[in-house]
Structure 1
């Protein structure tokens, strides 16, 4: 799978209408002012972490609390020291938690030496955001921070407790990645050298203490696929699997992202991940970003991407596509976990898995690849192999090009997409991808563009067009 991180699916592109401020909006505004943190950046970070859901003071799988995901034995205690608020208040009170998150983020900025002038520029906070995530490696820290900045770029309009809506208007921000610019871009698997069992997955290996080296299916037959919900974010889950050794080692073979269905493999299928107790030897485990009590994480894009992964695994090991062999964590004998939970739509998921017995369909569209706010304004067929599309985002004046495959779905094959704004160099995404090429984005308001792409042997090259 090619492409940069794409914003979470609840974001809408239309400019938000005026909404009366509520308790959470007030809390973000107050915390941003107190700690001189850009308000929109603070909201974007909170949304990336929790979808603004404090989960009633209950912790995530990695011990994070509240809408700002303050982590016990780490940022939670730091926030208490910086704000003078008790750990209990920081865990359960949204306003206190937001104050604590802002204080911790500001502390990272101070340690990095951000001046008062730099603090007014959201792009200068990138390294502080990366530090806030507490990632286990620079690669995951970049994945975490990139997610936050994609949200800031595309905008947010998200529900909060009490019927309130919290809004961030779309804004173009150029992040100053500093040393993280040299980290691997896990949001773009085509840039990674390591091969994976699933062609469109990125590779971010779990700590060796969190799985057992094996030789499956020679040593143990693989006849089950176990579906999990992570109780945490995509980047946070990958980071948790990379952390060790610890008293309760945990991992899964794959992690799937909510917003765009991106997949990262963390354990080779031949090895035994520690995810499902008595089923560890016989199964492949798939974690999904999100929380069991919040349905907003379970997007159609996630379902489709995960289903394509499940179908691919099943075909390679001869696993029947039924609910006896594709099970939830809660169905494993002796399991104490409840995931994927009542909000997981098994009917929809299995329909995507089986595909009615027909040819697999591509789970991605030009809009999901380019992100919310982008609308198709032109497209061209690439024979029977795919379609290349030009999209425009009226909120920020950006164009985007994506090539969507129609054949060899789930199998890496040559595909490309390009966008050339008049007077500027051409930007291209090309390689062997399982589902699509792109997104290739560029600011092009009131500019002419050339665009096109390739799938299989079919090529499309546009003239200089769409000048207004």
Structure 2
């Protein structure tokens, strides 16, 4: 485990993750008239909590948003993230849903995942305020009062009398909900870093809120009085200042040629790590931890807890986790799971976003992975391996993951260097807060019902430049030839923030991009011009195949290892079409079918591939089939 040091964030956020998210505030006057600002001031005065502390805690939980009363991924509600597990259904894992084999390699056989079977601060808030739980969940003003009451109670129980924010460190750490000192300290440090730097933003319901910058030296020793557990020692890989618990996944020989739940490797010496895959768990943190410790299940590298940003590592990054549903991607990536329920339309806490960004930025630097959407991808961007597997691929972390905010926290803002003129290449970049999109199917009991109207990082693509035009077809997801749908699980006609596409046509306020072999129309307000590379079929080729993995040619396989068939996906890239080019990749196949890692072999071929943004998911084309050209204004 890495040592937990005093955070640089307390040096007024000189650099790093938090500095990208928090903007120094000029003063409270700009937001003095907003109802949300007054609610914080009134609750702070009523319960004797420093207003800066109340604002800082709320920022780390929700960024002051109300989310329309919808729960977070850890069953938290409202600006103060009061938790109510009774109100949120939970169970299973996203690896249990659909037909995807998480390992994504038939040479090993298909995995058969098993199913698995807190905090309740809303009850404490109800007892302290006399307000019922339903109101505390849905009324932002009462939610803020409830959070202030809970913070004040925690301060009383610590027996600390303090006039200023510095003496509230222990209560803030406890409010994190963490069960260990590492996560509690991380949360409290981020809160006080926010207080030191100040912040200002407009919430999801249009409320301007300001936290003026206040120099503060918090009494960090107070965390010892909470009696929390120490973070487990072990081999965890993490940046300084982020405590990561080592909860290893078992690597066991189960007999009869079966073993689990990941593969030993020697990356990056055996293979370069080129991607980081962002997942959500579709189960609680505790359930995910139980699953990853099951030797008959499957394993990923890291899990993050929503309420406080706590991080656990299960597989060393040199080893190959079974998480992405595509063996080529598994062998080249690190899998990071975030506690979440995408299908419920729930939201991710700021604490988890920040912890994840610190972790991913560290991993990207360690393995020289570019911080862009070609290399930092969602599970929903991973392609199927063959035509038969496309429909079973997963779609997390879904459109409610705020990619623009996440890249701000990574210190790599999307479109950091704006291009003012058309280039023939655009980046998807809608305004998250004002982009409800209109999904259906968040409630499993009512598949056609509308999802909660809240911000989204994705946009729909249509067959014509009008809002009521049908969505595009996806031959892999909808082999009957019908159009894609607005279902939250249907990515067949959806583009996500940060993804880049080649422009096919423009008409007035509409832009068409090449998408799965079709022109997909979206409003031009949702895109920005960018520079980059595009691919198109070589002259003389009417169309070229598109692949879900970059495997070597048959001649590259040594004796005793069965060549993996290079199977095209059910799409083609026709002459005249262009697609945004990502990295050029060597062809590789990681042969790992036995428990003994000494028998594992990396097969490398002469064939090279280019990763492209072909639809919502990435895909691969052979370099010899395409011309790669750089765009210009």
TM-score per shorter chain, which class? 0.5 to 0.7
Would the alpha carbon gap of residues 293 and 240 (structure 1) be closer, same or farther in structure 2, given more than 3 Å must change? closer
Q: Equivalent residue of 1:45, what SS?
A: helix
Q: CA deviation at 1:111?
A: 1.2
Number of residues of Structure 1 aligned to a counterpart in Structure 2: 326
- Does the Cα contact within 8 Å between 2:304 and 2:310 map onto a contact in 1? yes
- Does the Cα contact within 8 Å between 2:25 and 2:212 map onto a contact in 1? no
Q: Equivalent residue of 1:61, what SS?
A: coil
Would the alpha carbon gap of residues 146 and 296 (structure 1) be closer, same or farther in structure 2, given more than 3 Å must change? closer
Q: CA deviation at 1:96?
A: 1.4
- Does the Cα contact within 8 Å between 1:38 and 1:119 map onto a contact in 2? no
Would the alpha carbon gap of residues 49 and 330 (structure 1) be closer, same or farther in structure 2, given more than 3 Å must change? same
Specify which of 265, 274, 284 is matched with residue 217 of structure 1.
265
Aligned to 1:130: 173
Looking at structure 2, the residues matched to 198 and 248 of structure 1 have their Cα atoms a distance apart, in angstroms, of: 20
1:204 aligns with 2:244: yes
1:91 aligns with 2:137: yes
Looking at structure 2, the residues matched to 242 and 307 of structure 1 have their Cα atoms a distance apart, in angstroms, of: 26
1:284 aligns with 2:339: no
Mapping of residues 401-412 of structure 1, within 5 Å: none
Specify which of 349, 352, 363 is matched with residue 309 of structure 1.
363
- Does the Cα contact within 8 Å between 2:40 and 2:55 map onto a contact in 1? yes
5+ residue gaps, structure 2 = 86-119, 227-231, 252-259, 383-391, 414-633
1:44 aligns with 2:98: no
Mapping of residues 156-167 of structure 1, within 5 Å: 156-167=199-210
Aligned to 2:301: 253
Would the alpha carbon gap of residues 15 and 137 (structure 1) be closer, same or farther in structure 2, given more than 3 Å must change? same
The structure having more radius of gyration, on CA atoms, is 2
Specify which of 403, 409, 434 is matched with residue 344 of structure 1.
403
Would the alpha carbon gap of residues 326 and 40 (structure 1) be closer, same or farther in structure 2, given more than 3 Å must change? closer
Q: CA deviation at 1:79?
A: 1.5
Mapping of residues 319-468 of structure 1, within 5 Å: 323=374, 327-332=377-382, 333-339=392-398, 343-344=402-403
5+ residue gaps, structure 1 = 184-191, 232-236, 354-468
1:109 aligns with 2:146: no
Aligned to 1:363: none
Q: CA deviation at 1:313?
A: 3.8
Looking at structure 1, the residues matched to 349 and 172 of structure 2 have their Cα atoms a distance apart, in angstroms, of: 26
Q: Equivalent residue of 1:284, what SS?
A: strand
Q: CA deviation at 1:177?
A: 2.1
Q: CA deviation at 1:174?
A: 2.1
Looking at structure 2, the residues matched to 307 and 146 of structure 1 have their Cα atoms a distance apart, in angstroms, of: 19
Would the alpha carbon gap of residues 25 and 4 (structure 1) be closer, same or farther in structure 2, given more than 3 Å must change? same
Q: Equivalent residue of 1:157, what SS?
A: strand
Given the two structures, how large is their TM-score scaled by the length of structure 1?
A: 0.54
Aligned to 2:434: none
Looking at structure 2, the residues matched to 339 and 59 of structure 1 have their Cα atoms a distance apart, in angstroms, of: 16
Aligned to 1:72: 84
Specify which of 47, 50, 74 is matched with residue 35 of structure 1.
47
- Does the Cα contact within 8 Å between 2:265 and 2:320 map onto a contact in 1? no
- Does the Cα contact within 8 Å between 2:37 and 2:209 map onto a contact in 1? yes
- Does the Cα contact within 8 Å between 1:295 and 1:343 map onto a contact in 2? no
1:153 aligns with 2:196: yes
Aligned to 1:16: 27
Name the structure with the higher helix share: 1
Would the alpha carbon gap of residues 244 and 289 (structure 1) be closer, same or farther in structure 2, given more than 3 Å must change? closer
Q: CA deviation at 1:130?
A: 0.7
- Does the Cα contact within 8 Å between 1:10 and 1:296 map onto a contact in 2? no
Looking at structure 1, the residues matched to 186 and 219 of structure 2 have their Cα atoms a distance apart, in angstroms, of: 14
Looking at structure 1, the residues matched to 36 and 300 of structure 2 have their Cα atoms a distance apart, in angstroms, of: 35
Looking at structure 1, the residues matched to 291 and 194 of structure 2 have their Cα atoms a distance apart, in angstroms, of: 33
Would the alpha carbon gap of residues 40 and 253 (structure 1) be closer, same or farther in structure 2, given more than 3 Å must change? same
Aligned to 1:4: 8
